[in-house]
Amino acid sequence: MSPETSMQFRRAALIFTVVTFSALLLYTATDSIRPGSFSSSSFASIIPYYLNSSSSSPPDSTLELEEILKNASTANKTVILTTLNDAWASPGSIVDLFLKSFKLGDGTHKLLDHLVIVALDQKAYNRCRIVHKHCYGLITKGVDFRREAYFMTPHYLKMMWRRIDFLRTVLELGYSFVFTDADIMWFRDPFPRFFPDADFQIACDNFLGRSDDMNNLPNGGFNYVKSNERTIAFYKFWYSSREAYPEYHDQDVLNKIKFDPIISNIGLKIRFLDTAYFGGLCEPSRDLNVVCTMHVNCCIGMDRKLIDLGIMLQDWRAFVSLPSDLKNQSIISWRVPRNCSLESVRHANASEAGKD
């Protein structure tokens, strides 16, 4: 056999081997991903994208994030996270009320040591450095997150999905977290109310009475997530699901995928948080003796939110000033929603959706 013929033969053999091996992998994967066929251990090898893809953050950014998380974390590597853009960062705006709630709350002031504010633009980062000690700049090239993100606009959707991707990075770095929107007031330490055996627990717009009822309507503005293989896989699946539902935000996508067999097959344990403790304007916490957090959900527009947040803080101060016997009688209730209501959501959504 001539050298030229030998070379052609070896090249043909190599091509045949590669094609055969690729076909075998494809057959194995497609044969393995039938509904109900996953196990927690096989999930990583069958769908590498969900469990094995690396963080999209550049190395220097990841090192900086690790240092900030380390400085802010509790002894068991847990942090509190919120995101902030310029629209919510100006003096007298939402971030100031958010931080004030920690200072006025019962046992919440100490939690500020574990809060990391994730700034989505340079102005928000500069403002964070003035008002808080743990700040991280999450600047996304080609995207301007400075202005107010009106509900369900393309700008809003980009911001929400960027958040999900970032939170996955935090889990991959080994940190558990409580994520909180900045328009949530912290009135009590929530950690005693969390379920010790859950991987992922989330607040609700509407709570149906049982924490394990998958028909509860979740609200992505507040959740507690433990860092482990299951939650990392879940956040990757959640983020990737945006492609299947391109016009939905993260909360609506979660409401769809929570019934997906993948969730049970990776072994993720989900719990929904009772609105008696983790309330909002959609479904307020009625008893100020037990409330931990209150969210100005079901409300669109920063001006509306600011008014109702201010009233909420006034109500809390009035409650705290009561003698113990009157507190136990719960004679004070929330005066909100005032400017915010489900009706205002419908009107505001219709009028503001075109402002992006």
Residue where a domain stops, chosen among 247, 275, 303 = 275
- Please check whether residues 239 and 156 belong to one and the same domain: yes
Is 34 within a domain? Answer: no
Residue span of the structural domain in which 149 resides: 52-185+199-275
User: Which phi-psi region, left, alpha or beta, contains residue 175 (left: φ > 0; alpha: ψ -120 to 50)?
Assistant: beta
Residues 267 and 229 in one domain: yes
**Cα gap 5→16, rounded to integer Å:** 17
Cβ atoms of residues 128 and 162 within 8 Å: no
Given a cut of 90, is residue 266 above it in pLDDT? yes
In a domain, 22, yes or no: no
CA 351, distance to chain mean position in Å, is: 27
φ/ψ of residue 315, rounded to 5: -60, -40
Identify whether residues 303 and 207 lie together within a single domain: no
**111 in a domain, yes or no?**
yes
> Strand pairing of 270-272 and 200-206?
parallel
Ramachandran quadrant class, 42 (left: phi over 0; alpha: psi -120 to 50; beta: rest): alpha
Q: What is the pTM of this model?
A: 0.79
Max avg pLDDT among 74-78, 296-300, 330-334: 74-78
231 and 294 housed in the same domain = no
Residues 6+ apart with CB under 8 A from 13: none
Residue in 56, 47, 39 with CA at minimum distance from that of residue 168? 56
Nearest to 303 by CA among 6, 92, 26, 108: 92
The pLDDT assigned to 330 comes to 73
pLDDT in tens, 218-264: 999 999 999 999 999 999 999 999 989 887 888 999 999 999 999 99
Same domain, 113 and 245: yes
Residues 82 and 219 in one domain: yes
> Which of 224, 247, 275 lies at the terminal end of a domain, its last residue?
275
| Both tokens assigned to 14 | 């190599």
Confidence of residue 341 (pLDDT cuts 50, 70, 90): low
300, 221: one domain: no
Residue 146 has pLDDT above 80, yes or no: no
User: Under 8 Å CB-to-CB from 38, ≥6 apart: which residues?
Assistant: 46, 261, 262, 265, 266
Burial class (CB in 10 A: 0-12, 13-18, 19+), 328: exposed
User: Which residue, 210, 340, 323, is CA-closest to 276?
Assistant: 210
Domain of residue 123, CATH code: 3.90.550
**306 and 252, same domain (yes or no):** no
Q: Is the pLDDT of residue 152 over 60?
A: no
Average pLDDT value for residue range 189-201: 98
Which tokens hold the place of 282? 């959609």
Torsion of the alpha carbons at 16, 18, 19 and 23, rounded to the nearest 10: 130
Residue 273 has pLDDT above 50, yes or no: yes
Segment 56-100, tens digit of pLDDT:
454 557 899 999 999 999 999 999 999 999 999 999 999 999 999
Q: Looking at the 3D structure of the chain, how many domains does it have? A: 2
Q: Are residues 211 and 333 in the same domain?
A: no
pLDDT at 31: 38
Distance CA 324, CA 303 (A): 34
- The chain-wide mean pLDDT, for the chain, equals 82
Sequential DSSP letters for 202-225: EEEEE--S-TT-TTSEEEEEEEEE
Q: pLDDT at residue 322 above 80?
A: yes
Distance, in Å, from the CA atom of 274 to the CA atom of 276, rounded to the nearest integer, reads: 5
**Residue 60 confidence (pLDDT):** 55
Give domain status of residue 17, yes or no: no
Any domain includes 7: no
Residues 286 and 158 in one domain: no
Any domain includes 261: yes
pLDDT at 116 over 90: yes
The reply to whether 129 falls in a domain is yes
Residue 20, C-beta contacts closer than 8 angstroms, at least 6 positions apart: none
Are 116 and 103 members of one domain?
Answer: yes
Confidence tier at 348 by pLDDT (50, 70, 90): very low
User: Considering 231, 246, 275, which residue would you say is the last residue of a domain?
Assistant: 275
Find the range with the poorest average confidence among 116-130, 157-171, 215-229: 157-171
Residue 127 pLDDT exceeds 80: yes
Note whether residue 313 is domain-resident.
yes
Q: Is the model's pLDDT at 50 over the cut of 50? A: no
Residue 1: pLDDT band by 50, 70, 90 thresholds?
low
Beginning with the edge strand found earlier in the chain, give each strand of the sheet holding 184-186 in spatial order: 184-186, 293-295, 278-280
Closest residue by Cα to residue 201 from 131, 142, 254, 280 = 254
